[in-house]
Structure formats: C-alpha cells, structure tokens
A and B are shown apart, each in its own frame.
Chain A
Amino acid sequence: MELYLQFGHGMMGLSKELVREWGGGSVILSPRDLNDEQLQRQANNINQLSGGRVLLDPQFYLPRADHFRLVAHSFWPADYSTGGFFGGPALWKLVSDLKTLNDSLNTSFAILPGLLAPRISDDWLATQDAILEASRNADFGRPLCQTIALSADACRAEDQVAMLLEHTESMKADAYYLVCEHPKGTYLVDDPSWLANLLDMVAGLRLSGGKVIIGYCNHQMLIGAVAKANAIASGTWLNVRSFPPSKFNNQDEEKRKATWYYAPHALSEYKVVFLDIARRVGVLDLLRPLDGAEPSATALFAGGQPSTIDLSEPDSFRHYLTSLKKQVEGSLQATFDATVSAHQSLLDTAESILTTVREQRISGQLRDFSDALPANRAALAAILATRGPILRREWNTL
C-alpha cells in the first residue's frame, strides 16, 4: 500500500518537498484548490521529480457545486441538467475536456468524474456506466480510474454495497478511486458498518482485478491494507483527510488555526498544550514520534516544555504525512493473516497508550482514536469472516 498526497490548502510547496524527499510519490491534484495555470505548474513540478506522478481528481461529485475556483475550470460544464447530461454531447464534452487536461498534466491514471451517490441505485449505476463507456471511447491512452463517491448513508448500507460490487463485475474499470463521506461528518469514524462496508468494497474491487485508491483518508484508513488497497490518499487539513462534500460549495476557507501533533503509536492527535500536561504527569514518552521523525516533532520530546517549541502548521502537516507514510509502508505484510495481525497490534498498542493517557485526562478531543478503536476491530472481524478465506488464498495474486 502506498500513501498518495491529496492536494489541499497548504500542499503546494509541501507536496514537492515530500515527493523529492521520498524519492517519488503520487499527488492527486485538486481543481478546487488550483486554477488552470496552477494545476499545470504543479503537475510539471511534480512530474519532473524522480518518481513523481500526478493524478487529477475532477471533483465532479456535485455537478451543481458552486465553489468559485472549481467551476471556473474549462472542463466544468457551464450548464447541467440531470435528464440529458449523461446521454448526450454534454458528457462527451466533459470527458473530452478531461482527456485533454489529463494529457496536458501527464497524469499516470485518469480519474473519471463520478457523482456523489446519496444511495446506490440503478440510475446512479447507469450514470457510472455512461461515464466509463464515454471515457473508453475517448481513448485516454492511460488506465481509467472510476470514481466511486458515496454518501455516508450509501456506504453504511450493506445491500447497496453488495449491489455496487455485483454491478462492477460486469462493468470493470482499470482502477477505482473510492471516496466515502464520513458518517455525521466526524473526522474519525466510530460506525463499524461504514468501515466494514468500505473494506468490503476495497476487497471486492481488488479481487475483481482493479486497483483501488481510497481518497480523502486519515490514519484510520491504515486498515485498508487488510483489503489490499493499493493506496490511501491524505493531506494537510481535515477537509482532505475526510470527505466533506460541502467543501465543493462556496464557504469560508479553513480558518481555524490550531497546531496538532500526531502521536503515531496512539493513532491520535493532540494540541501541543496537552503535551505539556503529558510531560508533567510523566506519560509524554508514550506519545513520542516514530524513529527518524521530523526534527520539529522530535524536538517536542527533547526534555523541555513542548509548547515552548515552535511547531508550525507546515511542520505539523509534514510530521503527520511523513509519519503516515511510514505507517502505510509497514501496514502491508507478506500474507493476509500477517497484515491483519499487524493492524491488530497497531490497535492494541494505541489502546494501551490511550488508556494510560486518558487516565491522566489527556485527550485528543475529536482526534482521539479511542472511539474509533471498536469500529476498526469490528471491521476487521467482518472482513475476516466474509472475505478472509479468499483474501488469504489470493493475497499474492492481488
């Protein structure tokens, strides 16, 4: 499993730096955050780095979205009518324009436009088919990656997920870009059905022969390794670490400024001032970074009061993404069972740390993983029971 960089606010320079330092990597570009010229420049910058690759997320989730930068792009349809769009020249124009843009950006995969499904219905599936068919006809000259964008309710419904997977057997893409809205808009998901279904989709799509990129992820999606996801994509702010469809409408840009430190062993994030208390009560070391972490993160644990260290927002993002990359790289093991064990171990370690630090009233607030632990464990149990035997058998062929 790889970590892709999900472009968002604050990612312009950081993505270049990280791809350079990592010796390669994929960046999913965001038309919402970059105008035409910036898209091109960013793509050029990444592509010229060794191992650098770009993809373009067309972000056509809500065709009536009104985010000023998004709708200003040349590929965005000036007019959208539900009835005729997917059966006529408007779809062809959208697909053709995206092909031109993908050519220009020299993308490694072509992520196809896909509507956000409030529920998975025959109509929505027909739309998916129409987009895939039109894209095949447009001859992108690169693998086609179908967007599967689901509302929280759709992702929670097992029968709808089963319907999607059944349908995909007869209409296969080369790859899938899976984007699922979090239930109740939370950052970390405590709903086991949502998570179990998402894993089930990843496994089903992988077993059908496609690659799977899970978009808009945070570290909770390290669990994607047990379904052998090819990549998870994450970024800087919360609105690229989970999928809030509302971000594609005009609204205030991210203005809440707080610096968070990601404690990778605890799978939780803390405001730096809470690290002060952790130090005072003697549990700071439990929240230490991984070996070889960013100097700015390591400095928090050098012995002084953590809040006296200037952990800037860019430092915080960089620390998060470099830590997550290491965790992603360690998540996939040689066998299915070893991968499950590795994730269980990750959860066990986090639980042990969280129990200790919470006893001291140190909390990651909404970024504290405690409530997400049962969901991850239940999702693991579900995939073991349903897909386990086949994944165990097919692991090395995926």
Chain B
Amino acid sequence: MQNQNTISWINKSFPDLTTVQTLGQGGQKLVFSARHPADGDVVLKLIHPSQDAEGVRREILAVQQIVTVRVPRILGVGRIATPIGSCIWIREQRIIGATLRERLESGHLSIKELLTFGTHVLEALADAEKANIVHRDVKPENVMVDRTGDYWLLDFGISRHLTMTPITPSAHAFGKFTAGYAPPEQFRNVQREIDARADLFAFGVTFYECATGRQPYQDGAANPLEVLRRVENDTVPRLSLNCGASDSLADLISALTQRRRDHRPATVQQAQLWFRDILNANQPGSISPGV
C-alpha cells in the first residue's frame, strides 16, 4: 500500500517516467525501475534524508563524484536533483541482468566469462582512476552482468574522490568496507593510504572468487574478525586455471592481492595493461577452447 502511494507520487512528480515498478528497498533508499523517453530503462532511487543524514550526505557526494565519470562500464547517472519535498532522488541507467553474486550461485565463471569480466571491470576502474575516484567496494554484489554477458560496475556508495574531503570520516573506527574484499589499508582506514590500489586488491579477490567459486578469506571463517585477520596474515592461494594463460593470470592475481599496497601494481592502468598483454599473448584458442 505504501509502495502504491509512492508510485502514485512518483507518477505525479516525474511525469516523464512510465512503467514505474518497485525494485527494492535498502537502508534509507527506495529503488524503482522505470522507462524514460530519452534514457530508456532507468533506476530511480528515493532517499529519505531524515532517516540517515550522514548516509544521505555520503550518497549525494558519491553521486556528485561519479557523475564526473562518463564511461561505458560504470552505470551512467542521468540526474541528481535537490529534494522534492523531503525526498532526494537520483536517476541512473538501468542494466537488465543479474548481479555477479547471483550469477556465482550457479557456479564459477567459465574462462571466457572470466576474461570478459576482467576486461570490463578493469576498464571501469581505470576510468574511475582517471577521475581520481576509488570505488572502495568492488565485490560480486556490486558488479552486474547484463543479458549480453557484459559486466558493469555499480554502487559507488562508499567511493572516494581522492582530491575531495573524504566521505568516510577518518575518525570512524574502521571506515566503510566489506570484509574479505577490502585490503588492510582500507579497513585500518588510513585515508592517506587509500588509492586505486585498494580497488585492485578487491578486484583481484573478486577475480579469484569468480575463477574458483571460493572466497579466499570468507569461506570457512567463523566471524568477520577472522576474515580481517586472514586478510592481514594470509595470501590468496595461487590461481590455477585450465587454460594457456593460467600462469600469467596467476601472477597478475597474486600481484593484485598483495597485502602491502606497494607490492601491487602502482595504478589500475598498469594492471589493465598487464591484463591486456596476457590476452594478447594468448590467442583465443590457446587461452581456452571456449574463448
């Protein structure tokens, strides 16, 4: 009933949107799908400021930051506006598909899927890096795979623009992060040490999970503190794939998931070049019969 009222309110407040439907609700957000005459399928997020003032500020800042990133592999933000009444709204491009997490429920990715995933997400991170933005929450829940098999990076909700005031206060005990994907410098919340290499770590862990179906830090851990302890002390096992590029990919993932950030590639661009070199050095037939 409440949603019906909200949809009616949306229809009145956003007359250019049609076929408005509820997609979900999370935290302080209500999320709807709709159709826009110019932008096609879109997502409309309604945020209630009174519920979490800090959360809203963070969300708006994040969107303002990511609005500067106009790249193919990051969901485009159509509009962000000042509140209508008590509500802040954001309209984004909508991808029809599933999250990578949902996709992984049916098993790990094939080599072909894995390489596409790597190519697309590194593209997205490289573009974010050019815009001085660190995503800070790369994980399967924040990657969408659409119906054509393309991958999209979404939810810059805890991202950080490196030249702007941190969204997450340094005084916060641990900062914002997802245990098992965030590198040590992120969950120690050392703001000056968080740069694109934090995203490379999370990407490396996600890649490993996609390749093997195993989350190297979370699987078998009794609690989040054990996950953090593992990230601090353990290394991701060496990747072994049934393809010609196995050793090269294992080297790359090993480098990306180094505990110390100075042991990782210095930039996303370097990692992307490394990944491309692997693809170029291994003609499709030699990487995998399926590619």
Contact = CB atoms under 8 A, between A and B. Distances in A.
Contact of A387 (B235, B252, B261, B263): B263
A169 interface: yes
A204 B255 CA distance: 13
B54 interface: no
Secondary structure call for the B interface: helix
A165 B266 CA distance: 12
Contact of A392 (B235, B251, B263, B265): B251
A304 interface: no
Contacts of A162: 260, 262
A389 B253 CA distance: 9
Contact of A390 (B260, B261, B265): B265
B262 A204 contact: yes
B251 A389 contact: yes
A172 to B, nearest CB: 12
A392 B261 CA distance: 18
B211 to A, nearest CB: 16
Interface in B221-260: 235, 251-252, 254-255, 258, 260
Size category of the B interface is: 10 to 19
A280 interface: no
A95 B77 CA distance: 55
Interface in A82-136: none
A166 B261 CA distance: 9
B262 A390 contact: no
A392 B250 CA distance: 12
Given A166-B193, A393-B274, A386 B263 contact: yes
B260 A386 contact: yes
Interface string B4-43: 0000000000000000000000000000000000000000
A385 B262 contact: no
Contact of A166 (B252, B254, B262, B265): B262
Nearest to B254: A389
Contacts of B193: 166
Size category of the A interface is: 10 to 19
A386 B255 CA distance: 7
B207 to A, nearest CB: 14
Nearest to A385: B235
A93 to B, nearest CB: 34
A211 to B, nearest CB: 18
Contacts of A169: 262, 266
Contacts of A165: 262
Contacts of B255: 389-390, 393
Contacts of A166: 193, 261-262
A387 B254 CA distance: 9
A162 B274 CA distance: 24
Interface in A160-210: 162, 165-166, 169, 204
Contact of A389 (B252, B260, B261, B262): B252
Interface string A376-398: 00000000011111101100000
Contacts of B266: 169
A130 B193 CA distance: 23
A388 B266 CA distance: 15
A385 B237 CA distance: 11
User: In this complex, which of B193, B251, B263 has the most chain A Cβ atoms within 10 angstroms of its Cβ?
Assistant: B263
User: In this complex, which of A165, A204, A386 has the most chain B Cβ atoms within 10 angstroms of its Cβ?
Assistant: A386
Contacts of A388: 251, 254
B251 A393 contact: yes
B258 A386 contact: yes
Contacts of A392: 251
A120 to B, nearest CB: 14
Contacts of B258: 386
A169 B274 CA distance: 21
B282 to A, nearest CB: 15
Contacts of B265: 390
Nearest to B256: A389
B144 to A, nearest CB: 29
User: In this complex, which of A385, A386, A390, A392 has the most chain B Cβ atoms within 10 angstroms of its Cβ?
Assistant: A390
A393 B249 CA distance: 12
A162 B251 CA distance: 21
A386 B258 CA distance: 7
Interface string A136-166: 0000000000000000000000000010011
A385 B254 CA distance: 8
Interface in B119-177: none
A166 B264 CA distance: 12
Contacts of B235: 385
Interface in A350-396: 385-390, 392-393
A393 B263 CA distance: 13
A390 B261 CA distance: 13
Contacts of B263: 386-387, 390
Contacts of B261: 166
B142 to A, nearest CB: 26
A66 to B, nearest CB: 38
Given A169-B262, A389-B251, A390-B265, 13 more contacts: A162-B260, A162-B262, A165-B262, A166-B261, A204-B262, A385-B235, A386-B258, A386-B260, A386-B263, A387-B263, A389-B254, A389-B255, A390-B255
28 contacts: A162-B260, A162-B262, A165-B262, A166-B193, A166-B261, A166-B262, A169-B262, A169-B266, A204-B262, A385-B235, A385-B254, A386-B258, A386-B260, A386-B263, A387-B263, A388-B251, A388-B254, A389-B251, A389-B252, A389-B254, A389-B255, A390-B255, A390-B263, A390-B265, A392-B251, A393-B251, A393-B255, A393-B274
Which 9 pairs across A and B sit closest by C-beta, in order of nearness?
A389-B251, A389-B255, A389-B254, A386-B263, A165-B262, A390-B255, A162-B260, A166-B262, A204-B262
